[in-house]
Structure 1
Amino acid sequence: MSTISITERLRQKRSASKQNITTFYDEATEDYEFWSKDFNMHFGYYIPFKTSLFKRDTMLNEMNHQVFDRLQAPKRNSLVVDLGCGIGGTMRYGLRKHPLLRIIGITLSPFQVREGNKRLTNMNGLILEENYHNTSFKNNSVDAAYAIESLCHSGHNYLALKEAHRILKPGARLVIADAFLKKEEAQLCVGSNYCYEQLCQGWSLQGLGSIQQVQNRLKELGFSKITINNVSHRVAPSVLHVPFAIIGFMLKKLFKKQSLKPQSIKNLKGSLFALLSGLHFKSFGYYIITAEK
């Protein structure tokens, strides 16, 4: 069987519907609390002597810092939108560092809206149950927007990038931190493709856009001053925490005599294949993209 045939057969099994994504985040929040006490639902950014290899949240919060530093939003009364905010971990970081900002997060999960807004009490933040393909923001109304490991749920598709362009003010920035393909799906070897499909199934991803494809989409939409930084080497130390986090989470459940939920098993599977995908460095990379409207 050819690589392309295998790719097509596996792709048919992939499922990243709105319902699957919502269920994933409704049920996986406990898993992410084990990953990050600050509820950072993403990987980290390692800087020697600034972050700790052994304290995961120092790296995860440094990723938050890297994103906000690139946004360059005016610090007073600016409106920043988190496109796929999770339970608001990055929002809380941004509001603690820049209390004069206003940050609105978007998520499909009612559970995350409810629990996330509890954690934003007395802060200039709010989480809305909306789809980042079609938000309620007016044209040219947002001072900055970011997406940390969220646009992958829709394959970094054109609609998500188009909506970001629509809501941003002229001169405002979009920052995306995420994993991307370095080549097109059809060019992946059998091993890379297998890891990729298991990753997508475990984390309810539609897929990863290729970095060149996403750059072209941004240009077509009218974004300028596009910078693409491959930060895979900075992210790798936090990815290496995955097997230890998985073992720790399972031991915790075993100690409490609790069974693993089906979604937790899928999440753990996705986390494992995120690590294995990272070993295929010719096929996958982690990038921070900055683009200006």
Structure 2
Amino acid sequence: MKSTTLYQEKILEKEISRNALDIIDFYNEATEDYAFWSKDYNMHFGYFTLFKSNLFKRDSMLNEMNRQVLKRLNFNDKKALLADLGCGMGGTMRYALNRFKNLSAVGVTLSGFQCTEGNKLLSAKKGTILKENFNNTSLPSSAFDGAVAIESFCHSGHSPKSFEEAHRILKKGGKLVIADAFLKKRPEKLRYSGALSYKKLCDHWNLEQLGAIQTVEEQLKAQGFSKVEIEDISLRVAPSVLHVPFAISGFVLQKLFGTGHLKRESLHNLKGSFYALLSGLHMKSFGYYLISATK
């Protein structure tokens, strides 16, 4: 059995890109660091809503992002099935399962660590995490009422392959909701400082690229999504991004006074967070969007 598992993992590795293997290494080693960012393991930025989220409590904004994403799926108390494409430790899945009693959820991640530890956190809930590539899953066609991708599709460059796979697994009328950063112009049109921040961000967070928002809209429609709605929520996300320098400082001090060193993956994660902050300051070049696409 053990040799079969190893053989299957070798096949999986051959099916994914070199960048994907870097992502596996990154998240296998750095995921535990996200506990410092979010006690709920929300591995994304937040959404600020007056009277619903607290500017000074990061998890309040991170969970509000979960709420906003799920709100656009229009789930209610009816039986439904959710796919989280690039689920991390399953933070969004757990939020959704706590909110909707008749919901079931399946998440996919390339990280063995995230799969194992995330399933432990889901053990008492109607959800499971699979170690799979979100561009090529074993999930059945036309089976899901909704799918989410929160800061995950960027790891494959907002590829049409991701949109194709999401379209395949959704039922007719099902929705895909993407929450992510996108370019407002093509990479070659970025000015020097924006281009530098963009390159460093991609390097340190193992992103193939960020899609240009207009191109992404065209690709979703070309894939067959009948209705694509795009919301620029950059100003809503900005308060959580401003937590980055304080989180970095606190994390570094905690590590140095604890273990006395920082792992290579942790350093990349911290540098990526810093360049995410710098990129966010170039508001004419970068934006954070919620995209809702209906099959």
Pick from 228, 231, 242 the counterpart of residue 229 of structure 1: 231
Determine helix, strand or coil for the equivalent of 1:17: helix
TM-score, normalised to structure 2, is: 0.93
Aligned partner of 2:34 in structure 1 is 32
Aligned partner of 2:241 in structure 1 is 239
The Cα offsets for residues 85-143 of structure 1, whole Å up to 9 and x where unpaired, read as 00011111001111210010000001101000000011000000011111112221111
Alignment check: 8 A CA contact 1:82 1:104 kept: yes
Alignment check: 8 A CA contact 1:180 1:287 kept: yes
Report whether the alignment pairs 1:88 with 2:90. yes
* Cα shift at 1:78: 1.1
**Further displaced range: 100-109 or 45-54:** 45-54
Aligned partner of 1:176 in structure 2 is 178
Aligned partner of 1:268 in structure 2 is 270
The separation in 1 between residues aligned to 2:252 and 2:122, in whole angstroms, is 30
Aligned partner of 1:195 in structure 2 is 197
* Cα shift at 1:30: 2.0
Structure 2, gaps ≥5 residues long: 1-16
Task: Letter of the 1:202 partner, please give it.
Answer: H
Task: Letter of the 1:70 partner, please give it.
Answer: R
Q: 1:73 to 1:30 in 2, by over 3 A?
A: same
Determine helix, strand or coil for the equivalent of 1:103: strand
* Cα shift at 1:73: 3.2
Aligned partner of 1:47 in structure 2 is 49
> Where in structure 1 do 4 or more consecutive aligned residues deviate above 4 Å?
none
Determine helix, strand or coil for the equivalent of 1:71: coil
**Further displaced range: 220-229 or 55-64:** 220-229
Aligned partner of 2:129 in structure 1 is 127
Alignment check: 8 A CA contact 1:16 1:206 kept: no
Alignment check: 8 A CA contact 2:76 2:100 kept: no
Task: Letter of the 2:45 partner, please give it.
Answer: F
The separation in 2 between residues aligned to 1:203 and 1:257, in whole angstroms, is 23
1:1-293 equivalent positions in 2, closer than 5 A = 17-293=19-295
**Further displaced range: 70-79 or 39-48:** 70-79
Alignment check: 8 A CA contact 1:105 1:127 kept: yes
Task: Letter of the 2:58 partner, please give it.
Answer: R
The Cα offsets for residues 31-71 of structure 1, whole Å up to 9 and x where unpaired, read as 21100000000000001222111000000000000000001
The Cα offsets for residues 128-179 of structure 1, whole Å up to 9 and x where unpaired, read as 0011111112221111101000000001111000010111111000000000
Which structure ranks higher in relative contact order (CA pairs < 8 Å, sequence separation ≥ 6)? 1
Structure 1, gaps ≥5 residues long: 1-14
Determine helix, strand or coil for the equivalent of 2:72: helix
Aligned residues: 279
Task: Letter of the 1:178 partner, please give it.
Answer: D
The separation in 1 between residues aligned to 2:259 and 2:127, in whole angstroms, is 37
Q: Percent identity?
A: 58
The separation in 2 between residues aligned to 1:22 and 1:178, in whole angstroms, is 20
RMSD: 1.1
